[in-house]
Each structure stands twice: as C-alpha cells, then as structure tokens.
Chain A
Amino acid sequence: MTLSALAAAPRYTAPLGLMDALQVTILVLVAAGATGVVLVRDPVRQAIALSVYGVLLAILFLAFQAPDVTLSELTVGAVVLPLLLVLTLAKVRRREE
C-alpha cells in the first residue's frame, strides 16, 4: 500500500457520550486543581496540593487515551516533584531558623 492509501483508509473513532462527559469533567477538575495550587500560599501545603493536581493530570491523560503518559505523570507529578519541593523547603527553613 502506498502512504497516501494508508492515510486515506478509515480510522477508528471512539463512541461519543460517556467518554466526552468524562473528558469534560476531568478538564474542569484540572482547571480547578491548577487554580487551587496557585491560591494556596503556604509552600508546604502548596506541595501537597501540587501532588493532588498531579493525580488529576494523570487521570486527564488516561481519559485522553495516553496511558503511557499517565504512568509517568502519576510518579513524577504526584510523588517525585512534591517530594523534591518538600525536601528543598526543609533545607531552606532550617537555614532561616
């Protein structure tokens, strides 16, 4: 088959309805989560909020059919990044005392 023939062949489309509702819901939740992270002013609480936001983003990627990105986001966004922030804050606070 030539490349143009391959590109012209019919492609799989997901059924509408439930998936759309899930995608809209999680998009709204992610927007709310991101706003929440910005509104939290205490850095330690912000790191925890960021972790929750990481889980929301992971669900978003899952709802948009990217399970591989979900796995990365779940560990990096929800665990490693907040941990690095909390460790850095612990170091900085100790210097301030």
Chain B
Amino acid sequence: MTPAVRRWVFLAGMAGLAAFYLWGLTGLPGFGNYPGPYGDIINRIAVAQTKATGVVSAVNFEYRGFDTLGEEFILFTAAIGTATVLRRLRGERERAARDEAMDRNVPPVSDAVRMVSLLLVGPTLLVGWYLASHAQTSPSGGFQGGVVLATSFILIYLAGEFLVFRRIGPVDVTDAVGAVGAGGFAALGVSAVAMGLPYLSNFLPLGSTPGAVSSSGTIALISFFVGIEVAAAFVLIVSELLDQTLFVRRESR
C-alpha cells in the first residue's frame, strides 16, 4: 500500500468515525439532564431503607454490593500480580542499588520536606481512618479511606525513612491485611447466605437513627473491610516497586 492510498483509507475511516460521533452527540440528553428513574428513586428511599445518610455508600455496599465485591477483587488481583511478577526468584539475590551507580548524585531529603511529611503522617492516618469507618454517614467510603491510609505510609518514605517504611509495611503483613479485607467482604456475603438470605444481604440491625455511626448494618462493616484491603494493596504495590528501585536484583554467578 502506497502512502497516498493509506492516507485515503485513513481519511475515509476518520470521516466515518466523525459522522457517527456527531450523530451520537446529537442524541445525548441535555447537560445535567438525568433521564433515568433509578437515581431519583434511590435518593428518596435509600436513607429510610438502609439508615445510611451516605447514599453513595448505601449504593456501593448495599444496592450494588456484588459489583463492588468484583471491583475490590480487581485491585486485590492487581496487587497480588505485582507481588508475583516482582518476587525474588531462585538464583537472584538483592544488593543495594548504590553499588551500581556510585557517581550518581542522590540529593538528600531536605529538612523542610522531611518535617512536613512527618507532621502530615498522623493527620493523614486519622483522616483515612475516619473516611474508611464513616462511609454510612458521609460521602466517603472504604476505597477513599484506604487510599488515604496508604498515602500516610508513603509519606513516611517521602520523609526519607525508607527503612522505617519497609519495616512497618513488610510484604507478608500487607499481604495478610489485604487478604483479611478482601476475604472479610466475601465472608459477610456468605454469612447472609448461611442465614437463609440472598448473598450480601444486610443481615445486621440497621439502627434507628439515620446518620449514626453505629447505623446501617453491614454497610459500615463492608466499607471497613474494603478500606484495609485497599490500603494494604496500595502499600504492597508501592513497596514492591520501591524494593525494585532501591535493591537491585542480580543473577548470582
């Protein structure tokens, strides 16, 4: 195919795509115009039905809890996959990366960065914990709480304390916490089945006050499990990559 022919094929394809795209755009509902009934229905019944004032969490962990379970396992599988690909193989040994590029100029962590990072660790941990445990009352949830929790661990690395980061987030521990989070979610669903209810039914008492921290039954528990799973998965992925960067692996012999 000559370049000229190729260009014509491309232009024809582009014209077709542009035509269908514009046609599709004309059929869209107006900006901010929500046509479906389900969002409006959920907005009206969710608080009374689940006693959770965080309606997004009620949808995520109750009405479509099974979808969320699948999403959680996507992240879980990704973290396990990273750990598997980057594991230490037989015949590989670790050595500090510094040996390889002695002349490389590694700038030290400035006092300002170290100071700010260390000061932020505690508050970030607190915010993450709050988000993960208050899905039923505020627009937060396990995923948001989990990533914020993971960020607080990454701040420790940013402060130049890599060895501390490695000590508090060893692969075995993060693996185990992640497994407890993912397994706890699935086990809550199975518990409902054991009680003769559909999978992931909300079998715990809902409480009487919407918006109370103790309300909403399994929604709060599932959110908590998601939170620790997400935090563990992110810490695992980052620490695996840090290991790769800071400790080079070489074939022995």
User: Which A positions have Cβ atoms within 8 angstroms of B?
Assistant: 1, 3-4, 6-7, 9, 11, 67-68, 71-72, 75-76, 79-80, 83-84, 87-88, 90-91, 94, 97
Known A-B contacts A11-B40, A79-B151, A83-B154; A72 and B245 likewise in contact (beta carbons under 8 Å): no
B220 at interface (Cβ–Cβ under 8 A)?
no
Count how many pairs of residues, one from A and one from B, have CB atoms less than 8 Å apart in the complex: 70
Whether A7 lies near B37 (C-beta < 8 A) is yes
Instruction: Give chain B nearest CB distance to A86 CB in angstroms.
Output: 9
Whether B40 lies near A71 (C-beta < 8 A) is no
Whether B40 lies near A84 (C-beta < 8 A) is no
In the complex, the chain B residue whose C-beta lies closest to that of A90 is B245
Within 8 Å by CB of A87, from B56, B143, B144, B241, lies B241
- What is the interface of chain B mostly: helix, strand, loop, or mixed? helix
CA gap between A76 and B149 in the complex, in Å: 12
Whether B154 lies near A6 (C-beta < 8 A) is no
Q: Which residues of A contact B151 (CB under 8 A)?
A: 75, 79-80
Most buried by B among A7, A11, A75, A83: A75
In the complex, the chain B residue whose C-beta lies closest to that of A64 is B32
B100 at interface (Cβ–Cβ under 8 A)?
yes
Instruction: Give chain A nearest CB distance to B55 CB in angstroms.
Output: 10
Whether B241 lies near A72 (C-beta < 8 A) is no
Apart from the given pairs A11-B34, A67-B139, A75-B144, 4 other A-B contacts in the complex at a CB distance below 8 Å: A71-B139, A75-B150, A87-B238, A94-B101
Whether A84 lies near B154 (C-beta < 8 A) is no
Whether A80 lies near B144 (C-beta < 8 A) is no
Most buried by A among B45, B234, B237, B245: B245
Q: Which residues of B contact A87 (CB under 8 A)?
A: 238, 241-242, 244-245
Whether B101 lies near A3 (C-beta < 8 A) is no
